[in-house]
Amino acid sequence: MTTSRDFSFTQIGVIRTPFDSKFAVPRQPSLAPSTRGVIVLDEGYSDPNYVLGLERCSHIWLSFVFHLVGASSKPTVRPPRLGGNERVGVFATRSTHRPNPLGLSVVRLDRVEHKARTELHVSGVDLVNGTPILDIKPYAPYVDSVNHAEYALADNQPDRLQVTWSQAASNSFESIKPSLVLIDKVAVEQILAQDPRPSYHSDDSRVYGVSLEGVEFKFRVTNNEVIIQTVETPC
Amino acid sequence: MTTSRDFSFTQIGVIRTPFDSKFAVPRQPSLAPSTRGVIVLDEGYSDPNYVLGLERCSHIWLSFVFHLVGASSKPTVRPPRLGGNERVGVFATRSTHRPNPLGLSVVRLDRVEHKARTELHVSGVDLVNGTPILDIKPYAPYVDSVNHAEYALADNQPDRLQVTWSQAASNSFESIKPSLVLIDKVAVEQILAQDPRPSYHSDDSRVYGVSLEGVEFKFRVTNNEVIIQTVETPC
């Protein structure tokens, strides 16, 4: 006889990323390698000993909570990459809608800083700002890199769109650039190149907006080209 | 102000493996590729839709609980591979002793069977028998396989010992082999080749015992050679 078993875990820290909402978060971590994040460990885990030797890793695994999504009771999802029409079991996808909203991402570790709290500066992030982190493990290539693995549902990088800036958007971005720490021009282009529009929407005339590190980018998508129209900061 | 945050997760199933105790569990999943396991999904997750399309994956990630270990409050561990003398931060190791006892393993998916419960037959396992599984995700090579990653603490496969069988052990194993489903002769050799003795023990004359799929293997280690002396099943 099997009885249901629950397990409780405590957040060890929170990640700061430019993704102010789920919209525009890359579907996988390696797709926007220039996007930076900072994991700020909670007080109870900021003893420098917790990360002793971590600088000997180039990449780390983050186990985290899809805290904006919560637990899902649906057995299947419709992955955007399959056109949104085909149903696939949740355990056959990396969807955020899962019985246990546990996320898993490999990110590059750029540096460790010991301030009041321990900070891990990383890049190539695909987590929403404020995501609770449960665990950090070194990426061990000799076990984690399975070159011969096959995943027929998503066996290569998704297509990317061309990204161009209007003169106004480019000028605005240049003026606010010095105040940004998590994104630069390349990161913005990598993020928008993935076509962050909701599935089933392909209205060429519609203007979409995405907030990255508190900056609002307004864009249109025409003929597989993303045109950034305006870049605005809150007053 | 940061407040501590707890998250609760529910087991989706349990894995059956030959490892009747923590002793002799491979330190990483790929080290004993012939060792088989069966993930039996709980009743609430045995709707076949949950794994719809999973057969299109060759490898899967298992997120699981180190249920025999529990939460650790120590910031550092002494990895056996560093000789047991050097302290390293828990977040810089794959140690089982962590603030959140969350495990992560990639295993090969051999087949899916739909019986009263859904069964995922896997190989290359490094989990103790009865380990609670929290999540299953497809291994996506284009994001998970980071070939250029570096992990200076353990950048290659550990050394392996030669394994030989006494005539008595070999005969006994041949006679019980038909009743075994999770291990075969090669799997036993791969498991023992990793020198499963506790660290700091290198007494050539001492006989060690390990239980695999309910079978007790008694062995000695002399001059980097494992000699399996007897193989016994409980009456």
Asked if B115 and B121 count as a contact pair (C-beta separation under 8 A), the reply is: no
Query: Are B25 and B63 members of one domain?
Result: yes
Q: Which of B136, B145, B153 sits opposite A138 (nearest CB)?
A: B153
Query: Are A131 and A197 members of one domain?
Result: no
CB atoms under 10 Å from CB of B78, counted, come to 14
Note the pLDDT of residue B202. Answer: 65
Separation between Cα atoms, residue B95 and residue B88, nearest integer Å? 10
What residues in A contact B145, CB-CB < 8 Å? 144-147, 149
**Encoding tokens for residue A1?**
């006889």
Query: Are B209 and B101 members of one domain?
Result: no
Which residue type is seen at A75? P
For A12, name the nearest residue in chain B, comparing CA atoms only: B99
Instruction: Answer yes or no: is pLDDT of A107 > 50.
Output: yes
- Angle, vertex CA A206, rays to CA A201 and CA A208, nearest 5: 85
Would you call A50 and B10 a contact, using CB atoms and an 8 Å cutoff? Answer: no
Instruction: Answer yes or no: is pLDDT of A198 > 90.
Output: no
Residue with tokens 């270990």: B69
Would you call B75 and A43 a contact, using CB atoms and an 8 Å cutoff? Answer: no
pLDDT one-digit tens code per residue, B114-132: 999 999 999 999 999 999 9
pLDDT one-digit tens code per residue, B175-184: 999 999 999 9
Query: Are A45 and A133 members of one domain?
Result: yes
Query: Are B103 and B27 members of one domain?
Result: yes
Structural domain boundaries, residue A186: 162-232
Query: Could you tell me the pLDDT band of residue A66, with boundaries at 50, 70 and 90?
Result: very high
DSSP string, B171-191: HHHHHHGGG-SS--HHHHHHH
For residue A40, being part of any structural domain is answered with yes
Assign A90 to helix, strand or coil. Answer: helix
Task: Give the mean pLDDT of B105-117.
Answer: 96
Domain boundary among B109, B144, B179: B144
Separation between Cα atoms, residue A175 and residue A159, nearest integer Å? 31
Bridge partner list, A6: B10
DSSP string, B113-154: EESSSEEEEEES----TTEEEEEEEE--HHHH--TT--BTTS
- CATH of residue A82's domain is 2.40.30.70
Separation between Cα atoms, residue B170 and residue B173, nearest integer Å? 5
For residue B47, being part of any structural domain is answered with yes
For residue A2, being part of any structural domain is answered with no
Query: Could you tell me the pLDDT band of residue A220, with boundaries at 50, 70 and 90?
Result: very high
DSSP string, B192-207: HTT--SPTT---TTPP
Query: Are A138 and A23 members of one domain?
Result: yes
> How many helices (DSSP H) and strands (DSSP E) are in chain A?
3, 13
Query: Are B114 and B79 members of one domain?
Result: yes
Which of these, B128, B130, B110, lies nearest to B120 by C-alpha position? B110
Asked if A22 and A211 count as a contact pair (C-beta separation under 8 A), the reply is: no
- CATH of residue B168's domain is 3.30.2310.20
Instruction: Answer yes or no: is pLDDT of A139 > 60.
Output: yes
Would you call B57 and A104 a contact, using CB atoms and an 8 Å cutoff? Answer: no
Query: Are B107 and B189 members of one domain?
Result: no
**Encoding tokens for residue A186?**
């390349």
- Looking from the CA of A216 toward its CB, the CA atoms found within 13 Å total 9
For residue B6, being part of any structural domain is answered with no
Query: Are A138 and A170 members of one domain?
Result: no
Phi-psi region of B124 (alpha: psi -120 to 50; beta: other; left: phi over 0): left
pTM score of the predicted model? 0.92
Instruction: Answer yes or no: is pLDDT of A28 > 80.
Output: no
For residue B77, being part of any structural domain is answered with yes
Assign A142 to helix, strand or coil. Answer: helix
> How many helices (DSSP H) and strands (DSSP E) are in chain B?
3, 13
For residue B111, being part of any structural domain is answered with yes
Comparing A151 with A89, which gets the higher pLDDT? Answer: A89
Query: Are A107 and A80 members of one domain?
Result: yes
What residues in A contact B75, CB-CB < 8 Å? 45, 47, 49-50, 52
For residue A44, being part of any structural domain is answered with yes
Asked if A88 and A56 count as a contact pair (C-beta separation under 8 A), the reply is: no
For B142, name the nearest residue in chain A, comparing CA atoms only: A156
For residue A149, being part of any structural domain is answered with no
Query: Are B22 and B126 members of one domain?
Result: yes
Separation between Cα atoms, residue A105 and residue B148, nearest integer Å? 16
Q: How far is CA A173 from CA A115, A123, A178, A217, in A?
A: 30, 21, 9, 10
Q: What is the number of structural domains in chain A? A: 2
Instruction: Answer yes or no: is pLDDT of A65 > 60.
Output: yes
Query: Are B133 and B176 members of one domain?
Result: no
Q: How far is B194 from chain A (nearest CA, A)?
A: 15
Would you call B154 and A144 a contact, using CB atoms and an 8 Å cutoff? Answer: no
Domain boundary among B112, B144, B176: B144
Separation between Cα atoms, residue A188 and residue A32, nearest integer Å? 9
pLDDT one-digit tens code per residue, B19-42: 998 888 887 777 789 999 999 999
Comparing A22 with A105, which gets the higher pLDDT? Answer: A105
Q: Which of B12, B92, B139 sits opposite A57 (nearest CB)?
A: B92
Would you call B92 and A138 a contact, using CB atoms and an 8 Å cutoff? Answer: yes
Instruction: Answer yes or no: is pLDDT of A9 > 50.
Output: yes
Domain boundary among A144, A171, A191: A144
Query: Could you tell me the pLDDT band of residue B81, with boundaries at 50, 70 and 90?
Result: confident
